[in-house]
Structure 1
Protein backbone atom coordinates (compact mmCIF):
# COMPACT_ATOMS: atom_id res chain seq x y z
CA UNK A 1 0.00 0.00 0.00
CA UNK A 2 1.29 3.48 -0.78
CA UNK A 3 0.22 7.00 -1.45
CA UNK A 4 0.64 6.19 -5.11
CA UNK A 5 0.36 2.91 -6.94
CA UNK A 6 4.00 1.87 -6.71
CA UNK A 7 4.79 1.21 -3.05
CA UNK A 8 8.06 -0.58 -2.61
CA UNK A 9 9.80 -2.00 0.42
CA UNK A 10 8.47 -1.98 3.93
CA UNK A 11 10.46 0.71 5.70
CA UNK A 12 8.69 3.06 8.02
CA UNK A 13 5.08 3.71 7.12
CA UNK A 14 2.24 3.59 4.66
CA UNK A 15 -0.15 0.71 4.10
CA UNK A 16 1.21 -2.66 5.00
CA UNK A 17 4.74 -1.30 5.06
CA UNK A 18 4.38 -1.23 8.86
CA UNK A 19 4.44 -5.04 9.07
CA UNK A 20 8.21 -5.40 9.13
CA UNK A 21 8.54 -6.68 12.69
CA UNK A 22 10.66 -9.14 14.64
CA UNK A 23 8.82 -11.63 16.82
CA UNK A 24 11.13 -13.12 19.46
CA UNK A 25 10.33 -16.61 20.60
CA UNK A 26 10.81 -15.97 24.32
CA UNK A 27 9.06 -13.66 26.77
CA UNK A 28 12.10 -12.00 28.29
CA UNK A 29 12.88 -8.32 27.87
CA UNK A 30 14.29 -8.30 24.34
CA UNK A 31 15.68 -4.81 24.83
CA UNK A 32 18.28 -6.00 27.29
CA UNK A 33 20.44 -7.99 24.88
CA UNK A 34 24.19 -8.06 25.45
CA UNK A 35 26.57 -5.94 23.42
CA UNK A 36 28.14 -7.79 20.50
CA UNK A 37 31.86 -8.53 20.84
CA UNK A 38 34.67 -9.75 18.65
CA UNK A 39 35.54 -6.48 16.92
CA UNK A 40 36.87 -4.42 19.84
CA UNK A 41 40.47 -4.16 18.64
CA UNK A 42 39.57 -3.18 15.10
CA UNK A 43 36.97 -0.70 16.31
CA UNK A 44 39.54 0.86 18.66
CA UNK A 45 41.87 1.40 15.71
CA UNK A 46 39.05 2.92 13.69
CA UNK A 47 38.22 5.23 16.60
CA UNK A 48 41.82 6.45 16.87
CA UNK A 49 42.05 7.06 13.12
CA UNK A 50 38.69 8.85 13.22
CA UNK A 51 39.86 11.21 15.97
CA UNK A 52 43.00 12.07 14.00
CA UNK A 53 40.96 12.78 10.87
CA UNK A 54 38.57 15.01 12.81
CA UNK A 55 41.47 16.98 14.32
CA UNK A 56 43.02 17.53 10.89
CA UNK A 57 39.64 18.62 9.50
CA UNK A 58 39.11 21.02 12.42
CA UNK A 59 42.53 22.62 11.93
CA UNK A 60 41.94 22.97 8.19
CA UNK A 61 38.54 24.57 8.81
CA UNK A 62 39.95 27.03 11.35
CA UNK A 63 42.78 28.08 9.05
CA UNK A 64 40.88 28.43 5.78
CA UNK A 65 40.83 31.92 4.35
CA UNK A 66 37.12 32.50 3.87
CA UNK A 67 34.18 31.19 1.90
CA UNK A 68 34.84 30.48 -1.76
CA UNK A 69 31.39 31.14 -3.11
CA UNK A 70 32.49 30.27 -6.63
CA UNK A 71 33.36 26.67 -5.79
CA UNK A 72 31.39 23.93 -7.48
CA UNK A 73 28.39 22.33 -5.77
CA UNK A 74 29.87 18.96 -6.72
CA UNK A 75 32.82 17.27 -5.07
CA UNK A 76 35.15 14.57 -6.33
CA UNK A 77 33.45 12.05 -8.55
CA UNK A 78 30.42 14.27 -9.01
CA UNK A 79 29.21 13.75 -5.44
CA UNK A 80 27.55 16.69 -3.63
CA UNK A 81 29.70 18.66 -1.21
CA UNK A 82 28.62 18.95 2.42
CA UNK A 83 26.79 22.16 1.53
CA UNK A 84 24.26 20.13 -0.45
CA UNK A 85 22.54 19.09 2.78
CA UNK A 86 23.30 22.17 4.89
CA UNK A 87 20.53 24.63 5.88
CA UNK A 88 20.11 27.40 3.33
CA UNK A 89 19.19 30.13 5.78
CA UNK A 90 15.74 30.74 4.32
CA UNK A 91 13.15 31.35 7.05
CA UNK A 92 11.57 28.02 8.06
CA UNK A 93 7.90 27.35 7.52
CA UNK A 94 5.65 28.54 10.36
CA UNK A 95 4.09 25.75 12.39
CA UNK A 96 2.01 25.04 15.48
CA UNK A 97 3.01 22.24 17.90
CA UNK A 98 1.02 19.10 17.18
CA UNK A 99 -0.11 20.33 13.76
CA UNK A 100 1.52 19.37 10.46
CA UNK A 101 3.33 22.39 8.99
CA UNK A 102 1.89 23.83 5.75
CA UNK A 103 2.35 26.95 3.65
CA UNK A 104 5.70 26.18 2.02
CA UNK A 105 7.60 28.36 -0.42
CA UNK A 106 6.69 27.93 -4.09
CA UNK A 107 10.10 26.62 -5.13
CA UNK A 108 12.24 23.48 -4.98
CA UNK A 109 13.39 24.31 -1.45
CA UNK A 110 9.80 24.61 -0.25
CA UNK A 111 8.98 21.25 -1.86
CA UNK A 112 11.83 19.60 0.02
CA UNK A 113 10.64 21.09 3.32
CA UNK A 114 7.12 19.82 2.61
CA UNK A 115 8.31 16.32 1.69
CA UNK A 116 10.41 16.01 4.86
CA UNK A 117 7.56 17.09 7.14
CA UNK A 118 5.02 14.93 5.32
CA UNK A 119 7.30 11.91 5.73
CA UNK A 120 7.31 12.51 9.49
CA UNK A 121 3.52 12.80 9.59
CA UNK A 122 2.86 9.71 7.52
CA UNK A 123 5.27 7.71 9.65
CA UNK A 124 3.57 8.64 12.91
CA UNK A 125 1.22 6.76 15.22
CA UNK A 126 -1.64 8.93 13.90
CA UNK A 127 -1.84 6.66 10.86
CA UNK A 128 -3.14 3.74 12.90
CA UNK A 129 -6.50 5.24 13.96
CA UNK A 130 -9.05 6.23 11.30
CA UNK A 131 -10.03 9.60 12.78
CA UNK A 132 -6.48 10.92 13.03
CA UNK A 133 -5.45 9.25 9.78
CA UNK A 134 -8.21 10.90 7.76
CA UNK A 135 -7.39 14.32 9.23
CA UNK A 136 -3.73 13.81 8.39
CA UNK A 137 -4.49 12.84 4.79
CA UNK A 138 -6.65 15.93 4.33
CA UNK A 139 -3.59 18.01 5.23
CA UNK A 140 -0.84 16.40 3.16
CA UNK A 141 -2.57 14.82 0.12
CA UNK A 142 -3.70 16.75 -2.94
CA UNK A 143 -7.52 17.13 -2.79
CA UNK A 144 -8.27 14.99 -5.86
CA UNK A 145 -6.50 12.00 -4.32
CA UNK A 146 -7.80 12.10 -0.73
CA UNK A 147 -11.01 10.06 -1.07
CA UNK A 148 -9.37 7.21 -2.95
CA UNK A 149 -6.46 7.06 -0.54
CA UNK A 150 -8.71 7.09 2.52
CA UNK A 151 -10.59 4.09 1.12
CA UNK A 152 -7.38 2.25 0.27
CA UNK A 153 -5.83 2.81 3.69
CA UNK A 154 -9.05 1.75 5.42
CA UNK A 155 -8.48 -1.61 3.74
CA UNK A 156 -4.87 -1.71 4.94
CA UNK A 157 -5.13 -0.42 8.52
CA UNK A 158 -7.67 -2.97 9.70
CA UNK A 159 -8.22 -4.13 13.29
CA UNK A 160 -6.52 -7.38 12.32
CA UNK A 161 -3.48 -5.50 11.02
CA UNK A 162 -3.23 -3.45 14.22
CA UNK A 163 -3.37 -6.62 16.28
CA UNK A 164 -0.37 -8.06 14.39
CA UNK A 165 1.61 -5.11 15.77
CA UNK A 166 0.40 -5.79 19.31
CA UNK A 167 -2.08 -2.89 19.26
CA UNK A 168 -5.74 -2.78 20.19
CA UNK A 169 -8.17 -3.01 17.28
CA UNK A 170 -8.57 0.79 17.19
CA UNK A 171 -4.81 1.32 16.86
CA UNK A 172 -3.78 2.17 20.44
CA UNK A 173 -1.27 0.41 22.68
CA UNK A 174 -2.52 -1.90 25.43
CA UNK A 175 -2.07 -0.86 29.06
CA UNK A 176 1.55 -0.92 30.18
CA UNK A 177 2.99 -0.52 26.66
CA UNK A 178 4.07 2.40 24.49
CA UNK A 179 3.55 2.23 20.74
CA UNK A 180 6.43 3.73 18.76
CA UNK A 181 6.17 4.76 15.11
CA UNK A 182 8.56 7.53 14.06
CA UNK A 183 10.20 8.60 10.83
CA UNK A 184 13.23 10.90 10.85
CA UNK A 185 14.38 12.49 7.57
CA UNK A 186 18.16 12.39 7.11
CA UNK A 187 18.25 14.44 3.90
CA UNK A 188 16.29 15.43 0.80
CA UNK A 189 17.03 15.54 -2.92
CA UNK A 190 15.05 17.04 -5.82
CA UNK A 191 14.96 14.79 -8.88
CA UNK A 192 12.51 16.83 -10.98
CA UNK A 193 11.25 20.37 -10.56
CA UNK A 194 8.81 22.77 -12.18
CA UNK A 195 6.44 25.46 -10.89
CA UNK A 196 3.54 22.99 -11.11
CA UNK A 197 5.05 19.82 -9.68
CA UNK A 198 8.26 18.63 -8.05
CA UNK A 199 9.59 15.17 -7.19
CA UNK A 200 11.60 14.80 -3.99
CA UNK A 201 13.52 11.86 -2.52
CA UNK A 202 13.63 11.77 1.30
CA UNK A 203 16.21 9.53 2.96
CA UNK A 204 14.86 8.41 6.34
CA UNK A 205 15.48 6.40 9.44
CA UNK A 206 12.49 4.83 11.16
CA UNK A 207 11.43 3.30 14.47
CA UNK A 208 8.54 0.87 14.82
CA UNK A 209 7.37 -1.41 17.59
CA UNK A 210 5.80 -1.81 20.99
CA UNK A 211 7.91 -0.84 24.01
CA UNK A 212 7.06 -2.77 27.14
CA UNK A 213 8.14 -5.71 29.26
CA UNK A 214 7.63 -9.02 27.45
CA UNK A 215 6.73 -7.27 24.18
CA UNK A 216 6.83 -9.70 21.25
CA UNK A 217 7.15 -6.77 18.84
CA UNK A 218 10.02 -4.65 20.23
CA UNK A 219 11.00 -1.30 18.75
CA UNK A 220 13.34 -1.84 15.80
CA UNK A 221 15.02 0.57 13.40
CA UNK A 222 15.00 0.67 9.60
CA UNK A 223 16.36 2.81 6.76
CA UNK A 224 14.48 3.71 3.62
CA UNK A 225 14.09 6.30 0.88
CA UNK A 226 10.70 7.84 0.11
CA UNK A 227 9.94 9.37 -3.28
CA UNK A 228 7.11 11.91 -3.32
CA UNK A 229 5.65 13.66 -6.33
CA UNK A 230 4.21 16.95 -5.08
CA UNK A 231 1.98 19.43 -6.85
CA UNK A 232 1.39 23.09 -6.08
CA UNK A 233 -2.21 23.46 -4.95
CA UNK A 234 -4.00 25.76 -2.52
CA UNK A 235 -0.86 27.87 -1.99
CA UNK A 236 1.23 24.94 -0.76
CA UNK A 237 2.79 21.65 -1.86
CA UNK A 238 0.75 18.46 -1.49
CA UNK A 239 1.42 14.81 -2.30
CA UNK A 240 0.18 13.30 -5.56
CA UNK A 241 2.00 9.95 -5.54
CA UNK A 242 4.42 8.16 -3.27
CA UNK A 243 6.78 5.20 -3.38
CA UNK A 244 9.31 3.74 -1.00
CA UNK A 245 12.40 1.54 -1.18
CA UNK A 246 14.85 0.15 1.36
CA UNK A 247 18.13 1.91 2.21
CA UNK A 248 20.67 3.33 2.02
CA UNK A 249 21.41 1.53 5.29
CA UNK A 250 24.56 2.02 7.40
CA UNK A 251 26.48 -0.86 8.96
CA UNK A 252 24.89 -1.57 12.37
CA UNK A 253 27.00 -0.49 15.32
CA UNK A 254 27.67 -2.27 18.57
CA UNK A 255 25.24 -0.18 20.61
CA UNK A 256 23.63 -2.06 23.44
CA UNK A 257 19.86 -2.17 23.12
CA UNK A 258 18.04 -0.13 25.75
CA UNK A 259 15.51 -1.63 28.12
CA UNK A 260 11.81 -1.43 27.37
CA UNK A 261 11.35 1.21 30.08
CA UNK A 262 14.19 3.34 28.72
CA UNK A 263 12.78 3.20 25.20
CA UNK A 264 9.26 4.10 26.31
CA UNK A 265 10.56 6.98 28.44
CA UNK A 266 12.66 8.34 25.56
CA UNK A 267 9.70 8.33 23.18
CA UNK A 268 7.54 10.17 25.71
CA UNK A 269 10.17 12.76 26.65
CA UNK A 270 11.82 13.57 23.31
CA UNK A 271 9.67 15.52 20.87
CA UNK A 272 10.12 15.64 17.12
CA UNK A 273 11.15 18.47 14.83
CA UNK A 274 9.77 20.66 12.07
CA UNK A 275 12.02 20.33 9.02
CA UNK A 276 12.97 23.18 6.71
CA UNK A 277 15.35 22.89 3.79
Structure 2
Protein backbone atom coordinates (compact mmCIF):
# COMPACT_ATOMS: atom_id res chain seq x y z
CA UNK A 1 0.00 0.00 0.00
CA UNK A 2 1.43 3.39 -0.99
CA UNK A 3 0.30 6.96 -0.59
CA UNK A 4 -0.22 9.63 -3.18
CA UNK A 5 2.34 12.46 -2.82
CA UNK A 6 1.45 14.92 -0.07
CA UNK A 7 -0.59 17.84 -1.30
CA UNK A 8 -3.10 20.43 -0.14
CA UNK A 9 -6.46 21.07 -1.79
CA UNK A 10 -5.52 19.20 -4.96
CA UNK A 11 -7.53 17.68 -7.79
CA UNK A 12 -7.54 13.87 -7.87
CA UNK A 13 -8.05 12.16 -11.24
CA UNK A 14 -9.01 8.47 -11.34
CA UNK A 15 -8.36 7.42 -14.94
CA UNK A 16 -9.52 3.91 -15.76
CA UNK A 17 -8.88 4.30 -19.49
CA UNK A 18 -6.03 1.78 -19.65
CA UNK A 19 -6.96 -0.55 -16.81
CA UNK A 20 -9.93 -0.67 -14.43
CA UNK A 21 -9.69 1.05 -11.06
CA UNK A 22 -11.59 0.15 -7.92
CA UNK A 23 -12.02 3.13 -5.58
CA UNK A 24 -13.13 2.47 -2.00
CA UNK A 25 -13.07 4.23 1.37
CA UNK A 26 -10.10 3.48 3.63
CA UNK A 27 -10.50 5.36 6.91
CA UNK A 28 -10.90 8.94 5.67
CA UNK A 29 -8.99 8.42 2.42
CA UNK A 30 -9.71 7.38 -1.15
CA UNK A 31 -8.15 3.96 -1.72
CA UNK A 32 -7.59 3.53 -5.47
CA UNK A 33 -6.56 0.08 -6.69
CA UNK A 34 -5.85 -0.38 -10.42
CA UNK A 35 -6.24 -3.92 -11.73
CA UNK A 36 -2.96 -5.73 -11.14
CA UNK A 37 -1.45 -2.70 -9.40
CA UNK A 38 -0.80 -1.50 -5.84
CA UNK A 39 -3.37 0.32 -3.74
CA UNK A 40 -2.75 4.05 -3.31
CA UNK A 41 -4.26 6.40 -0.72
CA UNK A 42 -5.38 10.02 -1.06
CA UNK A 43 -6.76 11.70 2.10
CA UNK A 44 -10.17 13.21 1.31
CA UNK A 45 -9.38 16.23 3.49
CA UNK A 46 -6.61 17.21 1.08
CA UNK A 47 -8.70 17.01 -2.07
CA UNK A 48 -10.58 19.87 -3.68
CA UNK A 49 -12.56 17.57 -6.01
CA UNK A 50 -12.32 14.27 -7.88
CA UNK A 51 -12.64 13.51 -11.58
CA UNK A 52 -13.43 10.00 -12.79
CA UNK A 53 -13.14 8.69 -16.32
CA UNK A 54 -13.04 5.25 -17.88
CA UNK A 55 -13.59 1.98 -16.03
CA UNK A 56 -13.71 3.17 -12.43
CA UNK A 57 -15.97 1.62 -9.79
CA UNK A 58 -16.87 3.86 -6.85
CA UNK A 59 -17.86 2.42 -3.48
CA UNK A 60 -21.03 3.90 -1.94
CA UNK A 61 -19.25 4.58 1.37
CA UNK A 62 -16.65 6.58 -0.54
CA UNK A 63 -19.36 8.68 -2.20
CA UNK A 64 -20.93 9.39 1.20
CA UNK A 65 -17.57 10.36 2.72
CA UNK A 66 -16.81 12.75 -0.15
CA UNK A 67 -20.28 14.28 0.17
CA UNK A 68 -19.79 14.75 3.92
CA UNK A 69 -16.62 16.73 3.23
CA UNK A 70 -18.23 18.77 0.46
CA UNK A 71 -16.01 17.22 -2.24
CA UNK A 72 -17.77 16.96 -5.63
CA UNK A 73 -17.05 14.08 -8.00
CA UNK A 74 -17.15 14.70 -11.74
CA UNK A 75 -17.59 11.95 -14.33
CA UNK A 76 -15.86 12.74 -17.62
CA UNK A 77 -15.84 11.02 -21.00
CA UNK A 78 -12.74 9.93 -22.93
CA UNK A 79 -12.32 13.45 -24.32
CA UNK A 80 -12.31 14.98 -20.85
CA UNK A 81 -15.77 16.55 -21.12
CA UNK A 82 -17.81 16.54 -17.92
CA UNK A 83 -20.87 14.32 -18.37
CA UNK A 84 -22.20 14.00 -14.82
CA UNK A 85 -21.59 15.48 -11.40
CA UNK A 86 -22.04 13.93 -7.97
CA UNK A 87 -22.57 17.03 -5.83
CA UNK A 88 -22.96 17.13 -2.03
CA UNK A 89 -26.29 18.21 -0.65
CA UNK A 90 -26.23 21.60 1.06
CA UNK A 91 -25.29 21.24 4.72
CA UNK A 92 -26.09 23.50 7.64
CA UNK A 93 -22.84 25.20 8.46
CA UNK A 94 -21.36 24.41 11.85
CA UNK A 95 -19.64 27.46 13.33
CA UNK A 96 -16.01 27.23 14.38
CA UNK A 97 -17.04 27.67 18.01
CA UNK A 98 -19.60 24.86 17.82
CA UNK A 99 -17.09 22.62 16.07
CA UNK A 100 -14.50 23.26 18.80
CA UNK A 101 -16.97 22.48 21.58
CA UNK A 102 -18.13 19.27 19.91
CA UNK A 103 -14.51 18.29 19.32
CA UNK A 104 -13.76 18.85 23.02
CA UNK A 105 -16.26 16.09 23.79
CA UNK A 106 -13.74 13.56 22.52
CA UNK A 107 -11.64 11.84 25.17
CA UNK A 108 -8.51 12.32 23.04
CA UNK A 109 -9.08 15.88 21.85
CA UNK A 110 -5.81 17.21 23.26
CA UNK A 111 -3.72 14.56 21.50
CA UNK A 112 -5.60 15.01 18.22
CA UNK A 113 -5.16 18.79 18.33
CA UNK A 114 -1.44 18.30 18.87
CA UNK A 115 -1.38 15.89 15.90
CA UNK A 116 -3.01 18.56 13.75
CA UNK A 117 -0.50 21.21 14.86
CA UNK A 118 2.46 18.98 14.08
CA UNK A 119 1.01 18.01 10.71
CA UNK A 120 0.68 21.64 9.63
CA UNK A 121 4.16 22.61 10.86
CA UNK A 122 5.73 19.52 9.30
CA UNK A 123 4.27 20.42 5.93
CA UNK A 124 5.46 24.04 6.20
CA UNK A 125 8.96 22.91 7.22
CA UNK A 126 9.44 20.78 4.11
CA UNK A 127 12.27 22.09 2.01
CA UNK A 128 13.42 24.33 4.86
CA UNK A 129 14.43 21.85 7.57
CA UNK A 130 16.31 18.55 7.10
CA UNK A 131 13.79 16.75 9.34
CA UNK A 132 10.32 18.37 9.05
CA UNK A 133 8.86 16.11 11.75
CA UNK A 134 11.51 17.15 14.25
CA UNK A 135 11.02 20.79 13.27
CA UNK A 136 7.30 20.41 13.96
CA UNK A 137 8.01 19.03 17.43
CA UNK A 138 10.30 21.99 18.15
CA UNK A 139 7.55 24.45 17.21
CA UNK A 140 8.84 28.01 17.47
CA UNK A 141 12.56 27.29 17.60
CA UNK A 142 13.09 26.00 14.07
CA UNK A 143 11.30 28.88 12.39
CA UNK A 144 13.03 31.44 14.62
CA UNK A 145 16.46 30.06 13.73
CA UNK A 146 15.68 30.16 10.00
CA UNK A 147 14.40 33.74 10.18
CA UNK A 148 17.49 34.86 12.12
CA UNK A 149 19.76 33.15 9.58
CA UNK A 150 17.88 34.71 6.66
CA UNK A 151 18.45 38.18 8.14
CA UNK A 152 22.16 37.37 8.64
CA UNK A 153 21.87 37.93 12.39
CA UNK A 154 25.06 37.40 14.40
CA UNK A 155 25.29 37.30 18.16
CA UNK A 156 22.94 36.10 20.86
CA UNK A 157 21.46 39.46 21.80
CA UNK A 158 20.40 40.49 18.25
CA UNK A 159 19.06 36.98 17.61
CA UNK A 160 17.02 37.12 20.82
CA UNK A 161 15.61 40.53 19.86
CA UNK A 162 14.56 39.33 16.43
CA UNK A 163 13.11 36.15 17.93
CA UNK A 164 10.98 38.08 20.39
CA UNK A 165 9.81 40.59 17.79
CA UNK A 166 8.93 37.92 15.23
CA UNK A 167 7.12 35.73 17.75
CA UNK A 168 5.08 38.62 19.11
CA UNK A 169 4.13 39.75 15.61
CA UNK A 170 3.13 36.20 14.62
CA UNK A 171 0.95 35.90 17.72
CA UNK A 172 -0.82 39.16 16.94
CA UNK A 173 -1.55 38.10 13.38
CA UNK A 174 -2.80 34.74 14.67
CA UNK A 175 -5.13 36.42 17.17
CA UNK A 176 -6.50 38.71 14.46
CA UNK A 177 -7.16 35.89 12.00
CA UNK A 178 -8.67 33.57 14.61
CA UNK A 179 -10.99 36.35 15.76
CA UNK A 180 -12.02 37.09 12.18
CA UNK A 181 -12.68 33.38 11.71
CA UNK A 182 -15.13 33.24 14.62
CA UNK A 183 -12.89 31.59 17.22
CA UNK A 184 -14.43 31.94 20.73
CA UNK A 185 -12.45 34.09 23.16
CA UNK A 186 -11.79 31.27 25.62
CA UNK A 187 -9.98 29.30 22.92
CA UNK A 188 -7.70 32.32 22.46
CA UNK A 189 -6.95 33.01 26.13
CA UNK A 190 -5.60 29.80 27.56
CA UNK A 191 -8.05 27.37 26.02
CA UNK A 192 -10.89 25.54 27.79
CA UNK A 193 -8.44 23.71 30.05
CA UNK A 194 -6.03 26.61 30.57
CA UNK A 195 -3.35 25.00 28.39
CA UNK A 196 -4.67 24.60 24.84
CA UNK A 197 -4.70 28.13 23.51
CA UNK A 198 -5.06 28.33 19.72
CA UNK A 199 -3.17 31.63 19.42
CA UNK A 200 0.28 30.04 20.02
CA UNK A 201 -0.67 27.18 17.68
CA UNK A 202 -1.48 29.57 14.86
CA UNK A 203 1.38 31.85 15.90
CA UNK A 204 3.78 28.99 15.18
CA UNK A 205 2.09 28.39 11.83
CA UNK A 206 2.42 32.10 11.01
CA UNK A 207 6.11 32.10 11.95
CA UNK A 208 6.86 29.09 9.74
CA UNK A 209 5.01 30.81 6.91
CA UNK A 210 7.18 33.89 7.52
CA UNK A 211 10.28 31.68 7.31
CA UNK A 212 9.08 30.32 3.97
CA UNK A 213 8.50 33.85 2.69
CA UNK A 214 12.00 34.89 3.79
CA UNK A 215 13.67 31.93 2.11
CA UNK A 216 11.47 30.71 -0.73
CA UNK A 217 9.28 33.54 -2.05
CA UNK A 218 9.94 35.78 -5.05
CA UNK A 219 10.36 38.73 -2.71
CA UNK A 220 12.66 36.86 -0.31
CA UNK A 221 15.67 39.16 -0.79
CA UNK A 222 13.58 42.27 -0.17
CA UNK A 223 12.03 40.71 2.92
CA UNK A 224 15.43 39.75 4.31
CA UNK A 225 16.60 43.35 3.91
CA UNK A 226 13.48 44.53 5.74
CA UNK A 227 14.16 42.13 8.62
CA UNK A 228 17.74 43.39 8.91
CA UNK A 229 16.54 47.00 8.86
CA UNK A 230 13.92 46.40 11.55
CA UNK A 231 16.44 44.60 13.73
CA UNK A 232 18.83 47.54 13.45
CA UNK A 233 16.20 49.68 15.20
CA UNK A 234 16.82 47.45 18.25
CA UNK A 235 13.19 46.51 18.61
CA UNK A 236 11.80 49.91 19.57
CA UNK A 237 8.12 49.31 20.43
CA UNK A 238 6.93 52.05 18.08
CA UNK A 239 8.87 50.68 15.10
CA UNK A 240 9.01 46.91 15.71
CA UNK A 241 9.06 45.02 12.39
CA UNK A 242 7.67 48.07 10.60
CA UNK A 243 9.13 47.35 7.15
CA UNK A 244 8.69 43.61 7.51
CA UNK A 245 5.03 43.98 8.44
CA UNK A 246 4.38 46.14 5.38
CA UNK A 247 5.60 43.28 3.19
CA UNK A 248 4.19 40.21 4.92
CA UNK A 249 1.05 41.07 6.89
CA UNK A 250 -1.40 40.74 4.02
CA UNK A 251 -0.06 37.42 2.61
CA UNK A 252 0.32 36.01 6.12
CA UNK A 253 -3.26 36.88 7.09
CA UNK A 254 -4.58 35.39 3.86
CA UNK A 255 -2.61 32.16 4.27
CA UNK A 256 -3.48 31.87 7.96
CA UNK A 257 -7.18 32.34 7.18
CA UNK A 258 -6.85 29.27 4.97
CA UNK A 259 -5.29 27.39 7.87
CA UNK A 260 -8.23 28.35 10.10
CA UNK A 261 -10.62 27.01 7.46
CA UNK A 262 -8.63 23.77 7.31
CA UNK A 263 -8.88 23.44 11.09
CA UNK A 264 -12.63 24.11 10.92
CA UNK A 265 -13.22 21.37 8.34
CA UNK A 266 -11.00 18.97 10.26
CA UNK A 267 -12.89 19.66 13.51
CA UNK A 268 -16.23 18.98 11.81
CA UNK A 269 -14.86 15.68 10.53
CA UNK A 270 -13.32 14.66 13.86
CA UNK A 271 -16.43 15.49 15.89
CA UNK A 272 -19.04 14.39 13.37
CA UNK A 273 -20.87 11.08 12.97
CA UNK A 274 -18.28 9.73 10.52
CA UNK A 275 -15.57 10.11 13.19
CA UNK A 276 -17.39 7.97 15.76
CA UNK A 277 -15.19 4.97 15.01
CA UNK A 278 -12.20 6.93 16.34
CA UNK A 279 -13.66 7.35 19.80
CA UNK A 280 -12.36 5.07 22.50
CA UNK A 281 -14.58 2.40 24.02
CA UNK A 282 -15.40 4.44 27.11
CA UNK A 283 -16.91 7.12 24.89
CA UNK A 284 -18.89 4.55 22.90
CA UNK A 285 -20.59 3.24 26.07
CA UNK A 286 -21.82 6.66 27.22
**Shared fold per TM-score greater than 0.5:** no
TM-score, length-scaled by structure 1: 0.23
> Where is the helix percentage greater, Structure 1 or Structure 2?
2
TM-score, length-scaled by structure 2: 0.23
Larger radius of gyration between Structure 1 and Structure 2: 2
Relative contact order (alpha carbons < 8 A, sep ≥ 6): 1 or 2 greater?
A: 1
